[in-house]
Chain A
């Protein structure tokens, strides 16, 4: 199993991921501060409101620029392969990679952003949710420690569904029931997103950009429909793996 913790993976985790995560944290807080600031300024008298609102937006704009520029540097120079490979990653490909955890983490981050936006379109995902790439890498390593060479890939994927939820890779400041989409509360949203992401990783894929996203949406829809079965499976990797296997065959 190609999961030795190599020096390059060590550097990546301790430099790159920390840097990216830190910047995202700043951005997430600045978005929260912006929305809070804008709500507060809405109640101020007009002659104070306008310059205050302008200052809030300016600070937020600066934070966004810093985050984007630094992320571009990180992606371009420190992990260009990961960025490229995450777009066509499948679970089978991740399992045999030397730096499987970081590839998995990048793919997880990208996909969970999409799934959350799709499943809760009225929410501003950047504002309400924080997705942790570091914890996603952690989830992979904790799962991989239990992987058995003879185990089916879907059972391994089932381990990961449970770990992603357990590690709390999706965080929100809102209380558990406060943020609702039309159908799901926060806890359900997190479970469905994690399951849909793993389902996408195990299905037969077409490697066309527009089709990949449609497939992820199809995985989301199916995960919502079978949510009761996902709940029933709890954190049992065998049951989760079986659900993934059965439904991957019909996507």
Chain B
């Protein structure tokens, strides 16, 4: 009969009217007074005393609090995490990048050149304005010095600000993503709750010291004859 299919379809939409909302309000959501006082960690009376306008807005549920969406640990984020003391300036990341946006300038500085640790890095620029976050540079890094980040709200008014230089990379918060870093997943590390500022935690293996390398490659051979 004509119209039965329509009524069937409308019953589905009617049923969905009472199912919970699955969309997420982003970047802000409107909340009531209790949730707002919990968010800013102040009691309701303090809000009334300090800002009566927000108190009134809160009564009708119209104050806004920011919402931060948690991604999954492998999320390839907008900033890179780089540990300068792990990096040997081998430039594997720069060679592996499909777009060629990593620029590394080094100069030889130090006495232990053969140990591979004494190239001083003058410049380590990642132009995230052209980056597509494929993560191949992270995959290429043999010493776990470069990691994908987890931040994603990095809007800027100028393209120049999107270039991550050496100073930014060393000074910013280090919340590496577990993309291509299985050691993070086994440790149940959550990048949104804790940061990883110590570079020793970040790697699968530690960078061997000069003494160790000398022991392994020079002294041992001498004894072997």
Partners in one complex: no
